[in-house]
């Protein structure tokens, strides 16, 4: 138990928390404009592309003042491709521009462009996820998970199951057993571990994002030599 608490605290100190906070998005405010900014970012994160390019591309949207459903539609396909390219999002620029137009047109038509209204209309966490995916083609499980993970504790119905990368990281630093498979049980155990650690991170979403950073940047790539949690990794300490 002591080793787990130490691993969680070190992880939080060395990897950082929520991606939205790094990008200057004030999700805890619950403001619909801030939530939309994170939704746009989540769509960008949904492709297999680097965090640096996503942040640069979000900054390009920010610089152009294109941070609402209406402004995205007003910019048009060519204008969106131009913004995406300026941020380095060139590999997925055409399809992402089309996706953004389709999704934001749907968001305006169904919910007046207000994602808080979408959340209010959902009956439960599963319905919330389905409503987000129904906004348009290309909004899949990965994008929904990215978006809702950082809204835990802000939206009552935001309760996505942990991603495979979060689970991989948690297993590697021995926070959860290697043989635990049920994602619902894993989520509850991660919450317990976070509370037992004395809440070394600001909130659970920060802790979960730290695990994602570890899983994505190091565990998946097997970049053990430069891993910030290598001293806590069960593979590096086979006798633990």
pLDDT in tens, 29-56: 999 999 999 999 999 999 989 999 999 9
Mean pLDDT of the chain: 93
Domains assigned to the chain? 2-16+161-232 (no CATH), 19-149 (1.10.340.30)
State the Cα–Cα distance between residues 79 and 75, nearest whole angstrom.
5
User: Is 140 within 8 Å of 31 (Cβ atoms)?
Assistant: no
Q: What pLDDT, on the 0 to 100 scale, is given for residue 161? A: 97
Through-space distance between the first and last CA atoms of the chain, rounded to whole angstroms: 12
Enumerate the β-bridge partners of residue 155: 152
Q: Single out the residue of 161, 188, 160, 159 nearest to residue 175, CA to CA.
A: 188
State CA 48 to chain mean position distance: 13
pTM over 0.85: yes
CA-angle at 151, arms to 143 and 24, nearest 5°: 90
Distance, in Å, from the CA atom of 39 to the CA atom of 104, rounded to the nearest integer, reads 11
pLDDT tens-digit series, residues 91-132: 999 999 999 999 999 999 999 999 999 999 999 999 999 999
């Amino acid at each position: 138990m002591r080793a787990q608490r130490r691993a969680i605290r070190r992880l939080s100190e060395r990897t950082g928390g929520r991606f939205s906070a790094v990008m200057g998005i004030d999700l805890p405010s619950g403001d619909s404009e801030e939530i939309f900014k994170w939704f746009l970012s989540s769509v960008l994160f949904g492709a297999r592309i680097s965090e640096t390019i996503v942040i640069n591309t979000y900054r390009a949207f920010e610089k152009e003042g294109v941070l609402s459903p209406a402004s995205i539609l007003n910019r048009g396909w060519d204008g969106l491709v131009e913004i995406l390219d300026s941020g380095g999002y060139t590999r997925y620029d055409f399809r992402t521009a089309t996706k953004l137009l389709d999704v934001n047109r749907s968001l305006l038509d169904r919910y007046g462009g207000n994602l808080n209204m979408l959340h209010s209309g959902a009956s439960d966490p599963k319905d919330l996820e389905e409503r987000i995916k129904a906004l348009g083609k290309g909004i899949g499980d990965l994008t929904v998970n990215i978006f809702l993970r950082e809204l835990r504790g802000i939206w009552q119905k935001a309760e996505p199951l942990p991603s495979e990368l979060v689970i991989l990281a948690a297993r590697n630093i021995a926070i959860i057993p290697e043989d635990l498979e049920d994602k619902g049980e894993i989520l509850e155990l991660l919450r317990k571990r976070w509370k037992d650690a004395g809440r070394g991170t600001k909130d659970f979403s920060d802790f979960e994002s730290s695990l994602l950073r570890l899983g994505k940047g190091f565990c998946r790539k097997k970049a053990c030599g430069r891993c910030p949690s290598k001293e806590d990794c069960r593979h590096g300490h086979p006798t633990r």
